[in-house]
Amino acid sequence: MSGTYKAIGINLKSSPLGESDRLLTVLTEEFGLLRVVAPGSRKHKSSLGGRSSLFVVNQLLLARGKSLDKIIQAESVESYPGLSQDLAKLTAGQYLAELALYQALSDQPQSELFHLLREHLSRLEQFPAGATLPSLTHATFHLLVLAGVAPQVQSCCLSQEPIQPDFTHSDWRIGFSITAGGTVTLEAMEQARVEAAAHPSPDRAADTAGSYWQREAQAAVSGRFLPKTPELFIQLDAIELSLLQQLSQPRLIQDFLQADELLLQPAHRHHWLVLERVLRHYAQYHFDRPIRSASLIDVCFNAVDAPSVAISHDAIV
């Protein structure tokens, strides 16, 4: 199909192509993900040079090609220069870009994802450095909600009983199970283990090996069902559960900042590290892809005290 068309899009990925071109992966509002060529953009005086940078939002005029479409004209609408001035913010932006790439579709409008990503990139840029990790955690949860795979956090995934954080006992804990889909009471987990021990399945696949979706498909073909016994990923305290249950609120971090909320202070960074790690592994499990920028998040926030977990999904490919 020949001709030209217009789209507004944000650059999420870039790689060299040929001697002077760039191959861009662009999330557009009208057409979803596009892989397009920015011809001559690596030349010193190219008008497309800055417009092909990461996170730049452009109004594009594109020409259809046999294999790849080409950018004829680009007019910048928005960029986020503050992200490139702070390593933690830039890494958090790349993290969100990866999540957006994993859930974006091609040849379909992606208006909600397009605007949600822009909103959270803007917040990352504008908020103080102390809010970067909470903002990343907040944005990750919202992207999971939009993808339709957000964890269940208001009730137990096994018993379906509502869960309320107990701040009166310092040793109170609640479980989080990636395979179950969210929060679980420790009592329900123990009951599930007892029932599984009483009725073992010889076809049980290791939860940490290979692709979950591949194992599920193989089980369906063979007429078997995967076991429903969940694995406990981590235990959360009352503060962490409370924060997790509030992440669905659209203005949570803004409200915290306006109220000078102590939960954004360095003393509570560990709680945000726990929640980021939980949502990171949860997202990798459901998208069956690694978030490669996440390793830099650990470096940026000196996550030496980040939670140790029984299951690692960082190796998912």
E strand spans, 29-112? 32-38, 57-63, 69-78
User: What does the block give as tokens for 234?
Assistant: 């981590």
Question: pTM value?
Answer: 0.86
Decide: residue 122, CB within 10 A, 0-12 exposed, 13-18 middle, 19+ buried.
Answer: middle
Flag the least confident range among 21-35, 206-220, 243-257: 206-220
Report the share of the chain in percent with pLDDT over 70: 85
User: Mean pLDDT, to the nearest integer, of 146-174?
Assistant: 97
| pLDDT at res. 198 | 80
Give per-residue pLDDT as tens, 234-244: 999 999 999 99
CA separation for the pair 123, 135 (Å, rounded): 7
Q: Is the pLDDT of residue 206 over 70?
A: no
> Are 273 and 132 in contact, with CB atoms under 8 Å apart?
no
| pLDDT at res. 2 | 59
Assign residue 165 a region: left if phi > 0, alpha if psi is -120 to 50, beta otherwise? beta
Give the sign of the dihedral formed by CA 46, CA 81, CA 145, CA 30. Answer: negative
> Are 182 and 230 in contact, with CB atoms under 8 Å apart?
no
Q: Is the pLDDT of residue 311 over 70?
A: no
3-state secondary structure 177-231: ECCCCEEECHHHHHHHHHHHHHCCCCCCCCCCCCCHHHHHHHHHHHCCCCCCCCC
User: What does the block give as tokens for 207?
Assistant: 């939860």
Average pLDDT, the chain: 88
Strands of the 174-177 sheet, one edge to the other: 182-184, 174-177, 234-236
Closest to 120 (Cα-Cα) out of 98, 92, 84, 147: 92
Decide: residue 95, CB within 10 A, 0-12 exposed, 13-18 middle, 19+ buried.
Answer: buried
CB atoms inside a 10 Å sphere around CB 157: 22
Give per-residue pLDDT as tens, 9-32: 999 999 999 999 999 999 999 999
Give per-residue pLDDT as tens, 36-58: 999 999 998 899 999 999 999 99
Residues 6+ apart with CB under 8 A from 189: 158, 175, 177, 230, 232
The residue with tokens 């305290």 is 237
User: Mean pLDDT, to the nearest integer, of 75-96?
Assistant: 96
